[in-house]
Amino acid sequence: MKIAYVNPGVYDYLAATLIEGLTALGHEVVLSQAAAQGTHLPDEQFRAAAETADLVVVGSNAGVRSHLVQDVANPRKVFVDGGDSQDFAVTNNIRFKAVFKRELNRCFREAADQRIFPLPFAAEQRYLSNEVFAKDLHVSFIANMGTNPWRHSIHQRLQNLHLPGVVSGTTNERAYSETRPKSEAIETPLYRQLLRRSRISVSVAGAGYDTARFWEILAARAMLFTQQLDIVIPQGFTDGHDCVTFRSLDEFDEKLVFYMNRPELVAQIAERGHQRLLAHHTTQARAQQFLDACAANVHRDGYCERFLHPEIRAVEDLCVGRGLDVGCGSSKTTPDCIGVDITPRDTSGSVGCEAGRTSLANVVASGDALSMFEDSSLDFIVARHNLEHYHDPARTLREWTRVLRPGGRIGVVVPDHEKVDTYALDPTHYCHFTRESLATLVRDIGTLQVRKLDVCVPNWSLVGIFEKAAA
């Protein structure tokens, strides 16, 4: 096959693994920008190649020039979202036959009907070396400690063991290097050596659930000891059989002691994990999974028209009339919502989960201070993953109720604290909600009635629909 790939201008792990796999399978891959693998073509030549290509792939990440194929007549276009977000960052103005998402939440198990498919990372060939090292380290945890508070907590726990053969910290080898082109992956020999010397190696989510480390540990024949990932991994791994998972720091402590005292069991789990990786999660295997899904969709009538996260679908029906999307960040619930955010539209976010992302705010304000809106002037308010960021959520709800007309509705999505440690995910979560505590908060407001309070995403979030009582 001839594949025209609109690739990022910086090194992108998912793009690199996919390109490596496609090339290894014998396909011709032409790229829009220079990368470590594949043939880079000038713009006009790339457009011409895309017109006749068997498949056109548009990737996500910084520097992707999707306009190159916007007007290309070839209908066989698919989108690969390699971002570390549960939101869909699908390129505007291009219709795609299928969408592939690295961070596909488990709630999208039936998403094939929507032509949405999981495409997590895989193990790059450079991590599958036959070089053998003695397994002289009991446990290793090598990571950037700044992207998830759990990482720092686990680092401290391992340091406090004061045991030989326990290594925790950073190699000081970054994903990008000032001395190398940003289009290339930096070599990390010390990091790879530590993984290969480890009996057990720990993986914790960073900015996203899917980390390269998850796959690199398996490639190194270490036992993968991982935070439970709430994303879809085709041909995934089973706790206690070919990996070990934990959902809390207490569970991490308990299982660490258990497995450190059972080296033979650790070796068995590590080998089973490695063999499953070789069978289903090499770059070639991932590329073949990708091509199989493409083949089943590129010649079908129609396009992938709706790729909405369940948290958007849960509240989008409320967005009728004039209303607000409070804490809109980089993705409004519907385009007609008035976006409210503390981050201006023309700058990148700097706080919480929106760090480094562009705001779509129409009004720059905190969601608990809406003085620019009159009493009873709005039909609805939606707020996805916003209410937990206020020190005083009761005050915030009263302010939303003030600007809402009688009969108007509020739709909120919040993390389910019974299922997930929200502070560990983001220290700017000041309030932790369960179904019961959210219902109690709303009832205490007095002027709001609960119309719906239910699970939105299993093991992750709740949705609440509240209505302002008639005057």
3-state DSSP assignment of residue 37: coil
Share of the chain above pLDDT 70, in %: 88
CA dist 381 and 332 (Å) reads: 12
Parse the chain into domains and list their residue ranges.
2-121+285-295, 125-279, 310-468
Written as six digits, the tokens of 273 are: 């994990």
Torsion 205-207-208-213 (CA) sign: negative
DSSP annotation of 55 reads E
Per-residue confidence (pLDDT) for residue 425, from 0 to 100? 62
**Would the CATH topology of 2-121+285-295 be identical to that of 125-279?**
yes
Tens of pLDDT, residues 313-359: 889 999 999 999 999 887 788 889 999 998 876 544 443 334 444 57
Categorize the per-residue pLDDT at 17 as very low, low, confident or very high, splitting at 50, 70 and 90.
very high
What average pLDDT does this structure show over 258-275?
97
Tokens 């961070």 -> residue? 103
Burial of 382 (0-12, 13-18, 19+ CB in 10 A): buried
The CATH code belonging to domain 310-468 is 3.40.50.150
CB distance 83 to 208 below 8 Å: yes
pLDDT, position 220: 95
Greater model confidence, 92 or 391: 391
Range with the lowest mean pLDDT among 85-99, 202-216, 290-304?
85-99
Q: What is the mean pLDDT of the chain?
A: 87
Mean pLDDT score, 93-107: 85
| Whether residue 144 has pLDDT greater than 90 | no
Architecture of domain 125-279: 3-Layer(aba) Sandwich (3.40)
Higher pLDDT, 283 or 66: 283
94 pLDDT more than 90: no
Q: Tell me which residue has tokens 């497995």.
A: 259
Dist. CA 374–CA 84, nearest whole Å: 38
With 0-12 / 13-18 / 19 or more C-beta atoms within 10 angstroms meaning exposed / middle / buried, residue 62 is: exposed
- Judged on CB neighbours under 10 Å (0-12, 13-18, 19+), 219 is buried
Radius of gyration, CA atoms only, the chain: 24
| Cα separation, 306 vs 95, whole angstroms | 11
- The runs of H, that is alpha helices, within 302-433 are 310-316, 393-403, 422-425
Whether 171 shows a pLDDT value over 80: the answer reads no
63 pLDDT more than 80: no
399 burial (CB, 10 Å; 0-12 / 13-18 / 19+) is buried
Tell me the residue type at 462.
L
What whole-number distance in Å separates Cα of residue 165 and Cα of residue 290? 40
Strand pairing partners for 383? 412
- Using CA atoms, how far apart are residues 145 and 206, in angstroms rounded to an integer? 9
Multiple choice CATH, 2-121+285-295, 3.40.50, 1.10.3470, 3.30.70, 2.30.29: 3.40.50
For position 318, what pLDDT does the model report?
A: 95
pLDDT at 424: 60
129 or 73, higher pLDDT: 73
**What does pTM read for this prediction?**
0.74
CB 454 within 8 A of CB 463: yes
- Amino acid symbol at 459: N
